[in-house]
Amino acid sequence: MIQRALIVEDEPLIAIDLEATLRTLGFDVCGRASNPREAVELATSRQPDFILMDVYLEEGRQGINAAKWLREACGIPVLFITGHSDWETVARIRDLMPGAPLCAKPVRPDRLVAAIAGATGWNAPVSLPLF
């Protein structure tokens, strides 16, 4: 079964790169959002199997709050992607979203595969495409 992913990223080039990576891995990308409002609208209407969520959206760590709501209200697993892996940001994620995987930007495909597998139970293929 093909899993559907929602990408929430406010930097267009990073969103495009993540989408290409996910498609190469065999996922269907059911949408891209650049802010929390769009993320909630797309997640509730398209029902993805998981969400890749940037931590810093708009002005601050809006991604964490949106992810918490989506996980609690919709039951959708969330994987964080961030260019900010400072102690305070990581501690806030761990406090509000215990167990949520975190990948540092730039996201390496092997780490993304491991994070998706851990969050969703997806069985990664034995041989993955080369990037």
Peptide bond into 106 cis (omega under 30): yes
Tell me the per-residue pLDDT of 9-68, one tens digit each, with 9 for 90 and over.
999 999 999 999 999 988 999 999 999 999 999 999 999 999 999 999 876 778 999 999
Beta pairing, strands 78-82 & 4-8: unpaired
Largest Cα span, the chain:
40
List the chain domain ranges: 4-120
**% pLDDT > 70, the chain:** 92
What is the model's pLDDT at position 127?
61
Is 60 exceeded by the pLDDT of residue 130?
no
C-alpha to C-alpha distances, 113 to 43, 56, 62, 95, nearest whole angstrom: 21, 22, 25, 24
User: For the chain, what percent of residues have pLDDT higher than 90?
Assistant: 66
The confidence band for 91, taking pLDDT boundaries of 50, 70 and 90, is very high
Helix %, strand %, coil % of the chain (to 5): 45, 20, 35
pLDDT value at position 58? 76
Q: Terminal CA-to-CA distance of the chain, rounded, Å?
A: 23
* Of 16, 128, 129, 122, the residue nearest 79 (C-alpha): 122
What are the angstrom distances between the C-alpha of 37 and each of 40, 122, 131?
Answer: 5, 28, 32
The mean pLDDT of 90-111, rounded to a whole number, is 91
| CATH for 4-120 (3.40.50.2300, 3.40.50.970, 3.30.465.10, 1.10.1370.30) | 3.40.50.2300
pLDDT at 124 over 90: no
Residue 45: both structure tokens together: 């209407």
